[in-house]
Amino acid sequence: MASTASDISSKIRNVTSQLVDLERELKSGQFNDVELIRAFRDALDRSRTTAWTISELLTVRQINTNPDAALPFLLSERIRRFTQMTKELCADLDSGKSAYGVGALSDALQSLQVKLRQLTNK
C-alpha cells in the first residue's frame, strides 16, 4: 500500500517529535549500549542524507529549474558521506572486528576505483 503525502507528513511530524524526546533522554546519560547507538546513528545519518536530497530536489522544482542542476550537489554529499563511512570502517577494521561482506565491499571498491581513475585521467 502506497503512502499518501498526508501520511508521510504525519509520519515526519511524529518521528520528529519522538526524536526530540529521545534526544533529551539520551542526554540524561542513562543509556550505554554502544552498538545500538551506532546502528541508530547510522540510520539517522542515512535518513538525514535522504531528507537533504529530497529537500534539494524540492527546492529545485519550486524555483522551476532543471532538476539535473541539483545532481552535482547530491553527488558531493554522497562523496562526503562515503568518505566519512570509509574512515569509520577503517577504524572498525583496525580494531580487529570481523565483518561479513568484506569481499563484496572489496569488489565494489574495485569498480569504484576504475570509475575514479576514468574521471581523474580526463
User: What are the CA-CA distances from residue 35 to residues 4, 40, 89, 99, 111 (Å)?
Assistant: 34, 9, 14, 14, 30
CA distance 16 to 41: 15
pLDDT (0 to 100) of residue 62: 78
The per-residue pLDDT for range 16-44, each reduced to its tens digit, is 999 999 999 988 888 888 889 989 998 99
- Per mean pLDDT, which range of 45-54, 61-70, 92-101 is the poorest? 61-70
Please compute the mean of the pLDDT values over residues 99-114 and round it to a whole number: 88
**pTM of the full structure:** 0.53
Please compute the mean of the pLDDT values over residues 99-122 and round it to a whole number: 88
pLDDT (0 to 100) of residue 18: 95
Helical packing angle, 71-94 and 34-62, nearest 10°: 170
